Copies of this chain bind each other. A is one copy, B any other.
Amino acid sequence: MKRRRLSVLLLTGGLTISLLGGCNTANSTDSLVLAEQGNFSAGGTVITSEGTFDSKNPFDPAGQTLHGDHADVFYQIPEDANEYPLVFLHGAGQSKRSWQKTPDGREGFQDIFLKRGFGVYLVDQPRRGDAGQSTVPEQITPATSDQMWATQFRIGRMPNFYPGVQFPQDEESMDQFYRWMTPNTGAYDEEVISDAMSAVFDESGPGILVTHSQAGAPGWKTAMKNDNVHAIVAYEPAAFLFPEGEAPEPIPNRFSQELPGLTVPVDDFKQLTEIPIVVYYGDNIPEQPSDVPAEDFWRASLEMANRWAEVVNSHGGDVTIVHLPDKGITGNTHFPFADLNNVEVADQLSSWLAEKELD
Contacts and interface: CB of A to CB of B under 8 A. Distances in A.
Interface of A: 1-5, 7-8, 11-18, 20-26, 30-41, 44, 46-49, 53, 55-56, 58-59, 61, 63-68, 70, 72, 74-75, 77, 79-81, 95-97, 100-101, 105, 111, 124, 128-148, 151-152, 157-159, 175-176, 178-183, 185-186, 202-205, 291-294
Number of copies: 2
Given A61-B143, A140-B140, A294-B58, A1 B38 contact: yes
Given A147-B65, A205-B2, A136 B142 contact: yes
A263 to B, nearest CB: 29
9 contacts: A1-B38, A1-B40, A3-B40, A16-B18, A31-B34, A33-B34, A58-B294, A59-B145, A130-B130
A47 to B, nearest CB: 6
Contacts of A25: 17, 21
In order of increasing CB-CB distance, the 6 nearest A-B pairs are A132-B182, A23-B23, A41-B179, A55-B157, A67-B178, A38-B101
Contacts of A22: 23
Interface of A is mostly: loop
Contacts of A20: 13, 15-16
Contacts of A179: 41, 44, 67-68, 70, 72, 131, 133
Contacts of A95: 130, 132
A270 B104 CA distance: 38
Contact of A100 (B2, B74, B137, B152): B74
A36 B7 contact: yes
A80 to B, nearest CB: 6
A138 B140 contact: yes
Given A66-B145, A81-B12, A133-B181, A292 B56 contact: yes
Nearest to A93: B133
Nearest to A111: B37
Contact of A137 (B46, B130, B139): B139
Contacts of A100: 38-39, 74
Given A21-B23, A56-B291, A151-B58, A4 B36 contact: yes
B144 A48 contact: yes
A15 B25 CA distance: 12
A132 B38 contact: no
